[in-house]
Amino acid sequence: MIKVRLAEDRGHVDHGWLKAAHTFSFARYYEPTEMGFSDLIVINDDRIAPHRGFGAHPHDNMEILTYVLEGELTHQDSMGNSETIKAGEIQLMSAGSGVVHSEKNGSDHPVHLLQIWLLPNEANTPPRYQQLELLDNQKQNPLTLIVSPNGEDQSLQIRQETRIYAGGLTATGSLDIPLKEDRFYYFHLAKGELSLNGHRFKAGDGARIYDETQLMLSATGLSATDLSAIETTSLDSDKTVVAEFLLFELRPYHEPRRG
C-alpha cells in the first residue's frame, strides 16, 4: 500500500520571516487524519528569511533531525553546542530529559530545511547532539544511511528502532529498494521530481508505505520537458541530481506510540 500525501495538501503557514509546510499536524495546523506515522510525528518544510529564526525554546523526550537543503543555519543549545549546519549537512539532537536551543539564519540569504521529529524509545535520557556531513562519495550514492539505532556506517545514532536514508537520482537514474515485510516506511521527496512505483512525485510530496516488497524509483519516467523544467543541483562535474529524497524505515504501527 502506498498512500500519497501531496505537497499542496499539507498545512501551510506564512509568518513573513517563516514560510512552512507541515506534513503532519503541528502547532496551529491540526488535521486529525495526519497525526504522524509510526514514530515519525513531524516533517516541517521550512524556509527562513535572512537574519531571522527560532529563539531559545525547550524540548524534551524527542529525537529532532534537521536537514539543511539550501543555505545555512546556526544552532546553539544549553549543552554548550554552537554549530553551523550547511546545505547537505544533517543534525540530530536527542532532547532526552530536556534541552534549550535556538535555530537562526545568520546569513544574508534564505535557508531551506526539513525539521523532523521522531518519538524516542526511552524517556528522560541525557540529551546529546550529533552532526553529519555527507562526503562527496556518499552524495554520489543513490541511497546513504544517515540515521540508525547503532550508528552503523558512520550514521547518526537515534534512540529509536528507525533507519533513515538520504537518496538522489540523476536525470537518467533509477533505483530498486527491497523492503522488509515487518517494517513500515515513509517517503519524502525534498527536491525535484521522480516516479515511485508508478506514482508521479514532485517536491514536498510524501507517502506512507506498507505491505509492499519493493520500491522502484526512476527519473527516466519523466519527459524531456519535465526534466528541463527541474532545477538541478550539481554534485560533481560528472553527475547532476534531479531528485533528492528521504526514506524512513519505521516500526510497523500506523499511529504514533511511545515506548
Pairwise CA distance, residues 79 & 126, whole Å: 10
pLDDT, mean over the chain: 90
Look at residue 117 in the predicted model and tell me its pLDDT: 98
With a cut of 60, say whether residue 224 has pLDDT above it.
no
The binding site comprises 57, 59, 101, 103
With a cut of 60, say whether residue 235 has pLDDT above it.
no
* Mean pLDDT, residues 144-149 taken together: 95
The binding site for Fe cation comprises 57, 59, 101, 103
With a cut of 90, say whether residue 156 has pLDDT above it.
yes
DSSP line for 152-207:
GGGPEE-SSS-EEEEEEEETT-EEEEE--TT-EEEEEEEEEEEEETTEEEETT-EE
Domain 2-250 fold is Jelly Rolls (2.60.120)
Q: What pTM was estimated for this model as a whole?
A: 0.92
Look at residue 134 in the predicted model and tell me its pLDDT: 74
* Mean pLDDT, residues 151-166 taken together: 95
Look at residue 257 in the predicted model and tell me its pLDDT: 82
* Mean pLDDT, residues 10-16 taken together: 97
List the domain boundaries for the chain. 2-250
Look at residue 183 in the predicted model and tell me its pLDDT: 98
